[in-house]
Structures are given as structure tokens and as C-alpha cells.
Amino acid sequence: MTLVLAMILDALFGEPDWLWRRLPHPAVLMGRLIAAAETRFNRGPGRRAAGVLVIAVLVALAALTGWLIHILPDHGVIEVIVAAIILAQRSLVDHVRAVATALRRSLEDGKRAVSMIVGRDTAPMAEPDVARAAIESAAENLSDGVIAPAFWFLVGGLPGLLAYKMANTADSMIGHMTPRYREFGWAAARLDDLLNLIPARLTALLIALTSGWFDPAPVLRDAPKHRSPNAGWPESVLAPVLDVALAGPRSYVGKMTDFPWVWPEGRRDPGPDDIDAACAALWRAWAGMLALVLLFALV
């Protein structure tokens, strides 16, 4: 029942700003460790081997931290709180919904809001581009920030959850195909791909089942189009659920890239109402995961 309580606690309270203005968030602490290790070891020959060793040590350290918490007397309450902090459903929905609210005020407000949750260039965006970016971020982060952490808690308890979070944070920081990170971050990127293999597909299934959409053909067609082996799965389900074409051309660092469309049959003029509909789909998928976790706990 620990995970059930953690999911409900996160859904109710999210990440209170007053707390994280005073204390470092666990993800921030993980990020500092990763940054320190990258600065120290991402140099000279053998960068890939160094990256493999660093990610192995960091993930093991995260799992050990979870195990030490688990063996504390009266560890149950602490585990619920730590798991609730790592889960990010309420925070995700709040950030995505903020884009819809801002976009209703003006395009410039929408761009500023979406720049908080995506890494692409926002300057050239029109309103449909802003809405698409928010919806795509919603789909991908539902998997990375909610379903995957919950899945790895089911598999490995708090050690599994913290190990996953460390790997996922490392991927977001150093798992990039740039000259600086291509070798050193290779292991982090590959480990994150592996750890999200099942959760991404579970996320897609939860979105489909809780939205009453049951056609696997477009998903099997569109999911492999994504540059990530996992992120395309929830995205390729949420697109037809909303009847909105996702992906397509977007700009990174001033360079326009022509990515293929996901659900090209869908509308190409999404707006704030579609972002709100995506948020509703996130909550339905969350409820489906909660039911699954509760069933697992009862069995």
C-alpha cells in the first residue's frame, strides 16, 4: 500500500514551492552528483568506460540509499513521503495546464510557459506549435515521471524507484549526442532506454484503455518514427485519442528539423482546449495505474 498512498499524496499536494525553496529536491541532489562526476571524469581517453563506471556507481548509490531507508525503524511513512516526492503527476499536470492558461492570454505568454517544459526553440512557434509541444511533453513525461517510477517501485521497492530516478536524471543531463556527452553519456542513455522499455509501453496501454481507444495499428506505425525508442509509444496513442497530429517540424538551437508526423490524419491546429484534454487523459491514465497498483497490493 506504500505506493498507493504515495501516488495519492503526490496527486493531492504535488511539489510545494515553499518546501523546495528551503530544501534541495532529491532530483536536484542527484543532479549535483551527476554534474560533479561529469566534471571530474568526462575528460581524456576512455570516456565511454568512465561513463559506464560512473552511472553504475551512481545508480548503485541511489539503490543503497533506498535500502538504508527501508531498513530504518518505522520506515513506512518515510518511504511514502520519498516516493511521493519522486512521483510527478500533479507537478506535470500543473505545468502542462499552465501552458493552456498562458496561451489563452497571448501567444507570447504561451511561449514562455512552454519553454519551461520543452527544450526546443520557442521563438518561431505559432499557437499550434506551442500546443503540440505541451501535449508531447505531457505524453513523454507521464511515462518518465509517473508510470516508470511507479513501475520500478513495484519491481524493486524504494531502491528500485531511486535507482530509476538516478538513471533518468543522468540521461536528461548527459545522455545527449553532442561532442561533449556522446561517449561519456552513452551508458546513461542506454540504461534509461532499457529501464523505460516496459513503462513506456505500459503508459501507452493505460492511455488507450482509460480513453476507450483500441486501435493498435496507428501506434505500431507511428511509435517507431520517434527518435527515442520509448517516447513515441505514449505520444502515438495520445495523438489519436485527441485527434491531433503531433511531432512534425520543430527548431532546435536555431535549426529547423523536419521530424515525421505522428497521427498525420489528425488536426494540425491544436490549441488550449486540446492541452486541457491531454491533461484529462493524464489523470485517467494515472487512475488506471493507481487501480493496477492497488490490485497488485491486494493480490
- For residue range 59-104, list pLDDT tens digits in order: 999 999 999 999 998 889 999 999 999 999 999 999 999 999 999 9
**Given a cut of 80, is residue 163 above it in pLDDT?**
yes
Q: How far apart are CA 278 and CA 273, in angstroms?
A: 9
pLDDT tens figures, 179-231: 999 999 999 999 999 999 999 999 999 999 999 988 999 999 999 998 889 99
pLDDT tens figures, 37-50: 999 999 989 999 99
pLDDT tens figures, 255-278: 888 889 999 999 999 999 999 999
C-alpha cell at 277: 484534454
Considering the chain, what percentage of its residues have pLDDT values greater than 90?
Answer: 84
Q: How far apart are CA 13 and CA 107, in angstroms?
A: 29
**Given a cut of 90, is residue 17 above it in pLDDT?**
no
> pLDDT value at position 34?
97
Residues 147 and 202: beta-carbon distance below 8 Å? yes
Report the candidate in 145, 137, 131, 139 with the shortest Cα–Cα distance to residue 234.
Answer: 139
Residues 9 and 81: beta-carbon distance below 8 Å? yes
Cell 513495484 sits on residue: 154
> pLDDT value at position 240?
97
Read off the pLDDT band of 106 (50, 70, 90): very high
Expressed in angstroms, the distance from the first to the final Cα of the chain is: 11
